[in-house]
Amino acid sequence: MATDVRGSTFEPKVHLEDWKLWEQFSAVQTEMIVTKTGRRMFPGYRVKMSGMDPNAQYCVLMDISSVDENRYKFQHGEWVVAGRGEPQVPQRFYLHPNSPCSGQQWMKEIISFHKVKLTNSCGNSADGKFLIHSMHRYQPRIHIVRTDDVNTLHLQPMSTFAFPQTAFVTVTAYQNGQITKLKIANNPFARGFREDGAKTK
């Protein structure tokens, strides 16, 4: 916990945006498509900050960590363990492009990671792409580092936040029809597949 010059303390907190949507997906076990070229997550990962020192500099990072060491399969309408998964490799961090930036700035606006992509091809890894395995469970995480020095980030203490309702199983094609329905109903880019003429954004 950091202390400013006057002695009062700051404890950064992270608030998940669109949590109602995330919970709708989570209730039927969220699936995320992974492709060679990279696929966005939906819902998009967006958060709000509070409790930061307005005058201090922070870096905000994201990563996607393995939930366990299992491989999964979708059988008889549910996800079950299907043997040992791929070895967990420490995931590279994605540094939010606004970093470094003052606490005041971070707290002012929604911090979006919606451009992040999931890929299953080493060759196509680039900034903003997470290399992960299909049929595995993952958990996105947010990290906050109180520093203005991007180069020594790895040496600094880090606060980590994770929201259980954002965990997901990776797939190359949707397994659960309910997930497909939720994606089509809520993702504007999938509007072409809606049966009704819903105009809701």
Partner DNA sequence: GACCTTCTCACCTACGTGTTAAGC
Partner DNA sequence: TCGCTTAACACGTAGGTGAGAAGG
Contact residues: a copy of itself, CB under 8 A: 57, 97, 100, 148-151
**Contact (CB, 8 A) for 51 and 13:** yes
Cis check for the bond before 43: say yes or no (omega within 30 of 0). yes
User: What is the C-alpha to C-alpha distance for residues 57 and 59, in angstroms, rounded to an integer?
Assistant: 7
Among 13, 39, 48, 92, binds DNA (CB under 7 A): 39
Instruction: Provide Rg for the chain, Cα atoms.
Output: 18
The verdict on 78 binding DNA (CB under 7 A) reads: no
Shortest separation between residue 127's beta carbon and a copy of itself, angstroms: 10
Among 135, 142, 144, 167, binds DNA (CB under 7 A): 135
Shortest separation between residue 18's beta carbon and a copy of itself, angstroms: 24
Residue 151 interface partner, choices DNA, a copy of itself, none, CB cut-off 5-8 Å depending on type: a copy of itself
Q: Which two tokens stand for residue 66?
A: 């393995």
Residue 20 interface partner, choices DNA, a copy of itself, none, CB cut-off 5-8 Å depending on type: none
The verdict on 28 binding DNA (CB under 7 A) reads: no
Long-range pairs of 97-101 with CB within 8 A, sequence gap ≥ 24 = 98/60, 99/58, 99/59, 99/60, 99/61, 99/150, 100/57, 100/58, 100/59, 100/147, 100/148, 100/149, 100/150, 101/57, 101/58, 101/59, 101/60
Nearer to a copy of itself, 95 or 171 (CB): 95
**Contact (CB, 8 A) for 159 and 142:** no
The verdict on 171 binding DNA (CB under 7 A) reads: yes
Residue 97 interface partner, choices DNA, a copy of itself, none, CB cut-off 5-8 Å depending on type: a copy of itself
The verdict on 81 binding DNA (CB under 7 A) reads: no
- The contact set with DNA (CB under 7 A) reads 33, 35-36, 39-40, 42, 73-75, 82, 120-121, 134-135, 171-175, 180, 183-184, 187-193, 201
